[in-house]
Amino acid sequence: MKYKLVNYASSKIKRMLEEKIRKNNKLIFYISKYSFDSFIKNER
């Protein structure tokens, strides 16, 4: 029973971390895309 509870908690934490990472990746993607666009504009 205790093992099941630990397993459940760790899977919940893992899911939370994965969601956080996914959001951060999206944010990083937007920032890099924006800075790349402005870089190209400055080069012209």
| Helix, strand or coil, per DSSP, at residue 43 | helix
Q: What pLDDT is stored for residue 15 in this prediction?
A: 93
Q: What pLDDT is stored for residue 44 in this prediction?
A: 66
- Residue 7 to residue 22: CA distance in whole angstroms: 22
Backbone angles phi, psi at 31, to 5 degrees: -65, -45
Q: What pLDDT is stored for residue 1 in this prediction?
A: 66
- Reference 33, options 22, 25, 44, 23; nearest CA is 25
Domain tally, the chain: 1
pLDDT in tens, 2-44: 778 888 888 999 999 999 999 988 988 888 888 888 877 877 6
Q: Which domain does 24 fall in, by range? A: 1-44
